[in-house]
Amino acid sequence: MSRQGRPQDTRKVSGELFSLTYGALVAQLVRDYEKDEEVNQQLDKMGYNIGVRLIEDFFARSQQGRCHDFAQAADVLTKVGFKMFLGVVPTVANWSAKGDEFSLILDQNPLVDFVELPETHQGLLYSNIICGVIRGALEMVQLEVKVWFVQDQLRGSDSTEIRVKFLKKLEDAVPAGED
């Protein structure tokens, strides 16, 4: 992919420490763990821990309030959340009939600039941290979700697609004696 002729993208320059560090982390995990699946899981777990905090930073920076429904959450996640932190707005598509599942389609994935997956690690979900972040962030606004990669451009697919499925609404803890 040639990047000549494009004006200097400040986001790319300032986001480089993050994406390079992420790349080094993935490379280290690949060395540490035997199976790609283990790396994927570790990335998801780390993403979750990051998401749990990141969402507070999100609310601190934006004027967003609570979402009323899952569709609104999808909207805010992509148009505000992704835009704010990764500078891209994924398309929300492929809603399930029940309205409890949707896909995020990413044309561009800022995490993977200059990344190529080696032949021996085709099972690796390089950007799996994103799934964990979404899961952790949404849990803090009481949406229990399952998030997973459907397709990855890094693995040869046409697009990068992440699926988000609503599992259940988490209730606030009820203080003792208030039932």
Partner 1 sequence: MTIYNLYIFDRNCSCLYYKEWTRQKEAGIPREEEFKLMYGMIFSLKSLISRLSIISAKEGLVGYTASNYKLHYFETPTGFKFVMNTDTSVGNVQDVLRHIYARIFVEYVVRNPVARPGEHVDSELFAAKLDDYIQDLSFK
Partner 2 sequence: MSVTTVQAETSQCLFEFLHMEIVSQLQQEAGPDKKGEVQQRLESLGHRVGESLVERTSRDHPRFKNELDAVVFMCKQFWVTAFNKNIDNLKTNHQDTYVLHDNAFRLLQHLSEGNQYREEAQTYLSFACGLLTGALSNVGIKCQVTAEVTKMPACTFQVKVLL
- Residue of 15, 88, 100, 150 interacting with partner 2 (CB under 8 A): 15
Residue 179 is a binding residue for partner 1 (CB under 8 A): no
Task: Tell how strand 143-151 and strand 91-93 pair up.
Answer: unpaired
In the block, tokens 């899961």 appear at 135
Residue 35 is a binding residue for partner 2 (CB under 8 A): no
Cα–Cα distance measured from residue 90 to residue 161, given in angstroms and rounded to the nearest whole number: 9
DSSP for 92-148 reads EE---TTSSEEEEEES--GGGTT----GGGTT--TTTHHHHHHHHHHHHTTEEEEEE
Query: Which residue number, 54 or 73, has a Cβ lying nearer to partner 2?
Result: 54
Q: Of the ranges 10-18, 101-109, 139-147, 159-167, which one interacts with partner 2 (CB under 8 A)? A: 10-18
Residue 27 is a binding residue for partner 2 (CB under 8 A): yes
Q: Of the ranges 16-24, 66-74, 96-104, 137-145, which one interacts with partner 2 (CB under 8 A)? A: 16-24
Residue 11 is a binding residue for partner 2 (CB under 8 A): yes
Residue 141 interface partner, choices partner 1, partner 2, none, CB cut-off 5-8 Å depending on type: partner 1
31 by DSSP, 3-state: which? helix
Q: Residue 52 CB, nearest distance to partner 1 (Å)? A: 6
H/E stretch holding 10 reads helix 10-14
Q: Of the ranges 48-56, 100-108, 139-147, 168-176, which one interacts with partner 2 (CB under 8 A)? A: 48-56
Cα–Cα distance measured from residue 38 to residue 34, given in angstroms and rounded to the nearest whole number: 7
H/E stretch holding 25 reads helix 16-32
Q: Classify residue 159 by burial, with Cβ atoms within 10 Å: 0-12, 13-18, 19+.
A: middle
Query: Which residue number, 76 or 117, has a Cβ lying nearer to partner 1?
Result: 76
Q: Residue 32 CB, nearest distance to partner 1 (Å)? A: 22
Residues of this chain that bind partner 2 (CB under 8 A): 10-11, 13-18, 20-25, 27-28, 42, 46, 49-50, 53-54, 57, 61, 84-85, 87
